[in-house]
Structure 1
Amino acid sequence: MIRVGLIGYGVAGASFHAPLIGAVPGLRLTSIATSRGAAVARDWPEATVVADAAMLLSDPAIDLVVIATPDSSHAPLAQAALTADKHVVIDKPFVTDPADGAALIALAEARGRMLSVFHNRRWDADFLTVQRILADGVLGDIALAELRWDRFRPAIKPGWREQQGAGLLNDLGPHLLDQALQLFGRPDAVAADLATQRAAATTEDYFEITLSFGERRVIVSAATLLAQPRARFALHGTGGSFVKYGIDPQEAVLRGGYPPTTPGFGEDAPEAYGTLTDAAGTALRIVSARGDWRRFYSGVVAAIAEGASPPVPARDALEVMELIAVARRSADERRRLPQP
């Protein structure tokens, strides 16, 4: 049994990490560092509440530390956890400075510890469906792919993400860019546009990044003032198009307080299925693959217990943060930046 210590019990810790850890065989949530002791006592009465991260990291009984805290704390907490010879999972984004990510990877390798990043959107129903369609080759050669995540949030949401965070690019960008890299690999050029569109916003709340792969274009974008969201995925190739609307349903289930063992967890409603239009113009509804974020933590168990590759290698997450840094430079310099 892998004994898990969770640092942070905000939305990410309470709604995502703790329920997923509790639902995966081989993991036991034993300790939580938080100021929200009453919430932990209600939700996880068998877990010990500690006042701060240092107390959790000094516990020799903890095998795996999960960091679900504000972005700026990820690097120092992960460094302390690895130095204490713990395996580590970090909520996205991996780090805010790619140099810190490279240092953490080197430290994990030197200590012989697993280091992974919670890019849970690799196990979304829509993304798994897109992966399957691309593997089947029914769309032919892809000319344009669009991965978008739109919200309608005119008011600034309370909490650190919108008030003290690093902006929408650091919040949703890691998910979208990780998916793009998984589908198409590393681009040969990057062009980005960032904007702060809400009057009260202090960080960017809109971005659009164009990744070039020769003549292929892959666009990743997120916006905060779209009452009518654009397609979540739209892929167009020589054999046809696939278009899918809506966000994977797992987040809503977990935020609603329901466990990942809830019947139908990760399954799209039929009305949310995507549409594949072939070269002849025939439109077919495509049943979505079943999403399951538990697969991330099942992969963590395999990595620690069996020496398997982490479910999300930290180097993958570092590549995402390097692309975000390039995108910010592209936006600042207002030019397209070739990539090696």
Structure 2
Amino acid sequence: MIRTGLIGYGLGGMAFHAPLIDAVPELELAAIVTSRAALVHERYPQVQVVPDVATLLADPTIELVVVSTPNDTHFSLAKAALEAGKHVVVDKPFANTVAEAEALTALAEAQGKVLSVFHNRRWDSDFLTLRTLLDQGSLGDITLYEARWDRFRPGLRGNWHEDAGPGGGNLIDLGPHLIDQALALFGPPEWVTGDLIAQRQGSLVDDYFELTLHYGRMRAVLSSASIVPAPRPRFAVHGTLASFVKHGLDPQEAQLRAGMRADDRGSGVEEPAQHGVLIASDGTRRPVPSERGDYRRFYSGVAQAVAERRPPPVSPTDALGVLRIIELARQSAAERRSLPL
């Protein structure tokens, strides 16, 4: 078993990383850096709570370090872990800038260590279902891909996501998920068009964005807004044979936050009422049962990368591609023009 240390026990550490690590047999959740020892020991009484990052990195038995902290700390903590000779998983975003991400990639290569980024939404139930439909050619040639992540949060919450700077805002928060999924399906686009704005009263960062990725005659539109009482479809993908329309989010986050184990037989299983619909060109509609989502597959891939020297489930190169599009989208929005990748 690969002894694993987790830095951070906020939402990301508590609802995603800790339960997923705990559910993968090849990994041992050995230590967590947090001030919330009581919360840790409610669920993981055997896990050591350590007072600071330096103590964790000095432990020679810890092979893998997971960084689940505010965005502005991702680079410095991942760098310190790599320099300490650890394999590293970084929560999304990989870093705040392309330059930081390139530095981490080079350091991991020099150290001979695995470096991966937690783009877990590749293992969402709806995305896996869509990918199968595309592989089967059920939609024909794709002309328009729309992926949206809407919320109704009209008031500010006062957390670090809303702080001014490169680590704050909706684009760097939800954008990596939407962009990574699009790149996984279609590869890098030719052009990028970005539209960013702060719509909520008093907001210092973007809380709405819409990106258009240009692929020849096909367009991929990625969008998120914070004042949407009636969310738009999560996916609306249109081709020459049919459209696939899907509302609602993968259930895993809600299940994990409610305390369900990631290896429970119901984990990642979506209710039939949430399944998407395939609409043929003649108007015929049929429901498409959602595949089971499974974020454990990310950490199983990390374990194989560490133990067997396999490629990580999300490569630093892939995560770099996401950040390049984020930076280009910001520039596009500022200059009000489309930019080549």
Shared fold (TM-score greater than 0.5)? yes
Partner of 2:147: helix, strand, or coil? strand
Equivalent position of 2:60 in the other structure: 60
Counterparts of 1:111 and 1:263, CA distance in 2: 39
How far does residue 159 in structure 1 lie from its aligned partner after superposition? Answer: 2.6
Corresponding letter in the other structure for 1:42: E
What is the aligned partner in structure 1 of residue 322 from structure 2?
320
Contact 1:197-1:206 within 8 A present in 2 as well: yes
Q: 1:225 matched to which residue of 2? A: 227
Q: Secondary structure at the match of 2:227?
A: coil
What residue in structure 1 maps to residue 272 of structure 2?
Answer: 270
Whole-Å Cα distance in 2 between the matches of residues 206 and 161 of structure 1?
13
Deviation at 1:158, TM superposition (A): 4.2
Q: Which residue does 2:180 correspond to in 1? A: 178
User: Do the aligned residues in 2 keep the contact of 1:156 with 1:163 (CA within 8 Å)?
Assistant: no
Q: Tell me what 2:26 maps to.
A: 26
Equivalent residue for 2:138? 138
Q: Distance in 1 between matches of 2:107 and 2:132?
A: 36
What residue number does 1:247 align with?
249
Q: Offset of 1:308 from its aligned partner? A: 1.2
How much has 1:107 moved relative to structure 2?
0.8
More off after superposition, 22-31 vs 152-161: 152-161
Q: Secondary structure at the match of 2:181?
A: helix
Cα distance, 1:160 vs structure 2: 1.8
Distance in 2, matches of 1:79 and 1:147, equals 33
Identical amino acids, percent of aligned pairs: 55
Provide the TM-score with structure 2 as the length reference: 0.98
- Indicate whether 1:72 and 2:60 are aligned: no
Partner of 1:331: 333
Q: Find the counterpart in structure 2 of residue 82 from structure 1.
A: 82
| Paired AA for residue 39 in structure 2 | A
Partner of 2:51: 51
d(CA) in 2 for partners of 1:176, 1:151: 15
CA distance in 2, matches of 1:196, 1:131: 33
Spell out the pairing of 1:76-225 with structure 2 (5 A cutoff): 76-163=76-163, 165-225=167-227
- Structure 1 position 157, deviation (Å): 2.3
Question: Could you tell me how far 1:163 is from its partner in structure 2?
Answer: 4.1
Contact 2:237–2:243, Cα closer than 8 Å, also in 1: yes
Question: Is the Cα–Cα contact under 8 Å of residues 192 and 328 in structure 1 kept in the other structure?
Answer: yes
Q: For 2:43 and 2:157, how far apart are their aligned partners in 1?
A: 25
Please identify, of 260-269 and 186-195, the stretch whose mean Cα deviation from structure 2 is larger: 260-269
Unaligned runs of 5+ in 2: none
Give the length in aligned residue pairs: 339
Superposed CA deviations along residues 240-274 of structure 1, whole A, max 9, x for unmatched, are 11100000000000111222123311011101111
Provide the aligned C-alpha RMSD in A: 1.0
Once residues 58 and 333 of structure 1 are traced to their aligned partners in structure 2, the CA distance between those partners, rounded to angstroms, is: 46
Structure 1: tracts of 5 or more residues without a match: none
Return the alpha-carbon distance in structure 1 between the equivalents of residues 337 and 145 of structure 2.
21
1:176-231 residue CA offsets vs partner (Å, 9 max, x unmatched): 00000011110000001001000032211000000000111100000000010000
Q: Deviations over 1:20-39 (max 9, x none)?
A: 00000111111111111221
Going from structure 1 to structure 2, the CA distance change for 1:44 and 1:158 (only over 3 Å counts) comes to: farther
1:194 is paired with a residue of what secondary structure?
Answer: strand
